Amino acid sequence: MYLIVGGMGQGKEPIAIRQFDLKPEEVLDLEESRLTPEELIAFLAGEEGCQIRCLNHLHCLLREHWDSETDWQDWCRQLSERQPELVILMDEVGSGIVPIETKERRYRELAGRVGCMLAAQAKTVTRVVCGIGVVIK
């Protein structure tokens, strides 16, 4: 698995497309997806899901399901095991002012923890700032 992180609009997707020679049909954009975390794992294990090489906007899935009963440690392990060459793009969401709303704080905490779990399993982790990718692992 390969993890690419950075702030919103910093150029993660173009870097992933160039670095991994991705075609549009190989990228699953989770920004508008209605998949639950469990449905995503099942989809990736299926015939159609095997064609997916990249998950874009993983943080959006976490925003929608931050309060689910998902065992995120196990979920990250399954994701890595099912598609070891998967490229994951995720916004960094923990910087800046700490939100007043509990829901927003919990979402940010989950995004940070899942990012750490994925980074631990990733072959490489690239941080993108101003369109420049820097390998940090």
- The answer to whether 63 and 96 have CB atoms below 8 angstroms apart is no
Provide, rounded to the nearest whole percent, the portion of the chain with pLDDT above 90.
85
- Token pair for residue 113? 């923890």
| pLDDT of 56 | 98
pTM of the full structure: 0.94
Per-residue pLDDT, averaged over 2-24, amounts to: 97
pLDDT per residue as tens digits for the range 56-100: 999 999 999 999 899 999 999 999 998 999 999 999 998 888 889
**pLDDT level of residue 119 (50, 70, 90 thresholds):** very high
- Per CATH, domain 2-135 is 3.40.50.880: no
Enumerate residues 6+ apart whose C-beta is below 8 A from 31: 56, 57, 60
pLDDT per residue as tens digits for the range 26-48: 999 999 899 999 999 999 998 88
DSSP string, 94-137: --SSPPSSHHHHHHHHHHHHHHHHHHHH-SEEEEEETTEEEE--
Per-residue pLDDT, averaged over 2-31, amounts to: 97
Report d(CA 91, CA 97) in Å as an integer: 16
| pLDDT of 97 | 84
Nearest CA to 117 among 87, 66, 52, 73? 73
